[in-house]
Amino acid sequence: MNNLIISDCREQNLERIYELEINNSYNPWTKKMFMDEFANKSSFFKIANFQNNIIGFIIYRINIDEAEIMNLVIDAHCRNNGFGEKLLLYAVEDIKLLCANKIFLEVRDSNKAAIKLYTKNGFKKYNIRKNYYTVEDALLMKKIL
Ligand SMILES: CC(C)(COP(=O)(O)OP(=O)(O)OC[C@H]1O[C@@H](n2cnc3c(N)ncnc32)[C@H](O)[C@@H]1OP(=O)(O)O)[C@@H](O)C(=O)NCCC(=O)NCCS
C-alpha cells in the first residue's frame, strides 16, 4: 500500500496519539510523557495518516551524532501492510539528514514483530538489560548509518 502520508505531529493530534498508545502498547506512555516529548526540541514526532485517519506514529530523539527511537506504534487493524517499516525508514532517512550516524533503541525480548522489523532494517542486538520491563528483558539494538 503506497498511500501512507507521513507528517509532523501537531498539538491537536496528541489526543489521538495517546489513544493509539493506550490501545497498542504493552507498557503505555502517560499523557505527560507525550506532552514532554512534544515540547522537547531534540525530539522528532511524526504521524502516519491512512485514508484520513492517524493510524500510527514514531518518535525519535537526536543527541548530537546519536539518535534514539523512543516509540513506534501502528494501530492493530492496520498492521502487516508495511506501514511500520515505512515509518521506520522515514525516520532513518530523517536521522541521516539530521547528521546522526547511529540509532539506538530498546525493545521487549518477547516483541517478536518489532524485533523482526528492526532486524530486517539493519538493527543489530548489542546488549540485554535484564528485567528492564519488570518481568522481562530489554534487547538493546543499534544501527550504524
Ligand atoms: C512493531 C509494529 C510497529 C510493526 O508494524 P507493522 O506495520 O505491522 O509492520 P510492517 O507491516 O511494516 O512489517 C515490516 C516487517 O516487520 C516484521 N513483522 C511485522 N509484524 C510481524 C509479526 N507479527 N511477526 C513477525 N514479523 C513481523 C516483518 O519482518 C515485516 O516484514 P515482511 O512482512 O517483509 O516479513 C507493530 O506491530 C506495533 O505497533 N506493535 C505494537 C507497538 C510496538 O510494539 N512497538 C514497538 C516498540 S519497540
Q: Decide the pairing of beta strands 43-50 and 53-63.
A: antiparallel
Looking at the CA of residue 71, tell me the nearest atom of ligand 1. 47
Question: Does residue 1 register a pLDDT over 60?
Answer: no
Distance of alpha carbon 119 from alpha carbon 113, whole angstroms: 10
Average pLDDT of 62-69? 97
- The pLDDT value recorded for residue 2 is 63
Phi first, then psi, for residue 110 (nearest 5°) are: -90, 0
Annotation says 126 is catalytic? no
Buried b (16+ CB within 10 A) or exposed e, 106-132: ebbbebeebbebbeeeebeeeeeeeee
Residue with CA at minimum distance from ligand 1 atom 42? 73
Q: Decide the pairing of beta strands 66-74 and 53-63.
A: antiparallel
Q: Is the CB of 79 under 6 A from ligand 1?
A: yes
Query: Residue 138 corresponds to which cell in the numbers above?
Result: 530489554
Q: What pLDDT band is residue 128 in, cutting at 50, 70 and 90?
A: very high
Cβ 69 vs Cβ 82: under 8 Å: no
Annotation says 18 is catalytic? no
Query: Residue 53 corresponds to which cell in the numbers above?
Result: 485517519
Average pLDDT of 29-41? 95
Q: What is the pTM of this model?
A: 0.96
For each of the domains in the chain, give its residue range(s) and CATH number, in order of start.
Answer: 4-144 (3.40.630.30)
Which of 4, 103, 117 to mutate to test ligand 1, by most ligand atoms within 8 A of the CB atom?
117
State the catalytic residue, choosing from 66, 85, 106, 136: 106
